[in-house]
Amino acid sequence: MLAKRFRGCKGQLTIDFLLAFLYINILIGILFIMHQNYAKNQNLILLRAQEKRIAYIVAEMITESAALNDGTAEIRFEVPSIRYMNKAVPMPCDIIIGQISGQDYVKVSVNVDGMQIDENVAIKRPTGISINNGTNRGKCGQMFVISYA
């Protein structure tokens, strides 16, 4: 009679164990997803900071290029690259110098996981300068040339 009682409990223990195991796996999965989202959000924050740094570097070089008005010199500088999620290869990013409603700006654009991220910095652009032979655009990690046109 005692053996029958234990046999009945054994099946219930198996079901309880399976439910507990499933519950623990679900909790671990949720924690893993939360960690992945946190890491991705942190990397997006770092990416925006890198974009803003590049935009400010380009804006400062353009603003300081007012000294080129004698036409005898040019400023050459390499724009830093952007790294994302500890990847060894830098991300391609576009740099555009343009105008929005009469205000000059530097725009740095990166496409991350199908999402376009832009950072704009307003500048005071000196008159008569040429950026990259008049194209007013470039890429991160490449040489920029500012000369007096």
Residues 50-60 pLDDT 10s: 888 888 888 88
Quote the tokens at residue 63: 């603003």
| pTM tops 0.75 | no
Residues 66-85 pLDDT 10s: 666 666 577 788 888 887 77
Pairing assessment for the beta strands 129-131 and 143-148 based on DSSP bridges = antiparallel
